[in-house]
Structure 1
Amino acid sequence: MRAATWLPDPVVHASRNGLFKLGTEIDLTEHWKDGASHLALSAVIEETNGTKSYWALAHASGAPDFHHADAFAVELPKADPS
């Protein structure tokens, strides 16, 4: 697995109102039009006291490793050209 260096910095919006929501949109259409791809969604949350927690849709066993193939749990189907 290698990092997607072609990705632009995402535009991130955050809001707090009793809940913390974080969202972003990235147009991947041109980058997976030739076939299906997989997505790993993960975050490292650092609290004001320095405590860190590691979140992901899927974790490989053992220490957090967001680059492990098992972390890529979402299959993105081939892009629809229409």
Structure 2
Amino acid sequence: MDGYDADDPKQSAADMTVFVQNLLQQMQSRFQTMSDSIISKIDEMGSRIDELEQSINDLRAEMGQEGLPSPSKPKEDSPQDR
């Protein structure tokens, strides 16, 4: 025999306590890992959104300089002006 009495309620309670503590520690560790991963991905998404906004602003600036007619150009006659 190993000296363990399955009928000893004190030993059963101690074993259960150790089991539950270990389980909670594992769950906390996994939760922390997932939390860190989520925060990292959110930070990465934020950076990518910032880059996208900058690209959009750059394109707007280019379009403003190259593609849009200047306000001093006369407009074509519209049917209402005739």
Q: TM-score scaled by structure 1?
A: 0.18
Larger helix percent: 2
Greater strand share, 1 or 2?
1
Higher RCO, Cα 8 Å, sep 6+: 1
With normalisation by structure 2, the TM-score equals: 0.18
